Amino acid sequence: MLDFTNKIIIITGGGSGIGKAASLAFAKQGAILHIIELNKEQAEETVAAIKMSGGKASAHNCDVSNQQQVSQIFKEIGNIDVLVNNAGIAHIGKADTTNEVDFDRVFNVNVKGYYNCMHEAIPLMKEAGKGVILNVCSVAAQTGIAERFAYSMSKGAIYSMTLSVAKDYLKDNIRCNSISPARVHTPFVDEYLQKNYPGKEKEMYEALAKTQPIGRMGTPDEIASLIVYLCSDEASFITGCDYPVDGGFTKLNT
């Protein structure tokens, strides 16, 4: 089961966190990975880890918000079986405290970046007669989270784009789903705590973890496991769906 031998997988933001965990998980199943990442060093670290385990991977330095850069990389890669849209940024602020520059920055990476990659991947998948797209969304798309105006906007767009793509390419045998994680313990979380709560990192980490009914944050590996399944042949009957991976955050918070 979950055999990806020689399947070509493109993962954006594969240099750290969920993207890195997914890249490693796909590689274990025999996939050929292409890591698209703004941080060149992180991408190369992921590729090195895959190759050390006998896998195949390549790193591509790219700003996903730049359509020309994205187009060139997809042309270089050629065939593609799976696209995992994962690269994204966060922002803290309400509607009246979010300035235009930050709003545009979040939109360009989180929304336009996903669009750019799907815009390039779908014609290749149509030509091949099959393909899978997995968009990393967030519980913020459907649940109110304080001071996450621009971020929630971007994730709501990702959620609706997923449904649109799933509907439009049914006859082309292209599946499109999304997952919506809650808080996951990634390097981003540690950096956020260090920046905003110096000296109180442990205390604030525990407070954030307890906001989820299950009592802890998720791990990148847990999220990666669902990503791999939804992109596998075993999930061939699933399209146009969003899956919360949230420790009960969406349905069990009171």
- Contact predicate 147/190, CB 8 Å: no
Residue 98 to residue 149: CA distance in whole angstroms: 8
Q: Let me know: does 163 contact 207? Beta carbons within 8 Å.
A: no
In sequence order, what are the beta bridge partners of 136?
A: 179
What count of other Cβ atoms lies within 10 Å of the Cβ of residue 240?
15
DSSP states of 90-114 as a string? ---B-TTT--HHHHHHHIIIIIIHH
Token code pair at residue 9: 């997988």
Question: 149 φ, ψ to 5°?
Answer: -60, -60
Catalytic residue among 115, 151, 159, 205: 151
Is 151 considered catalytic here? yes
CA dist., res. 159 & res. 157, Å (int): 5
Distance CA 186, CA 65 (A): 22
CA neighbor of 215 nearest in space, from 223, 205, 201: 205
User: Active-site residue numbers?
Assistant: 151
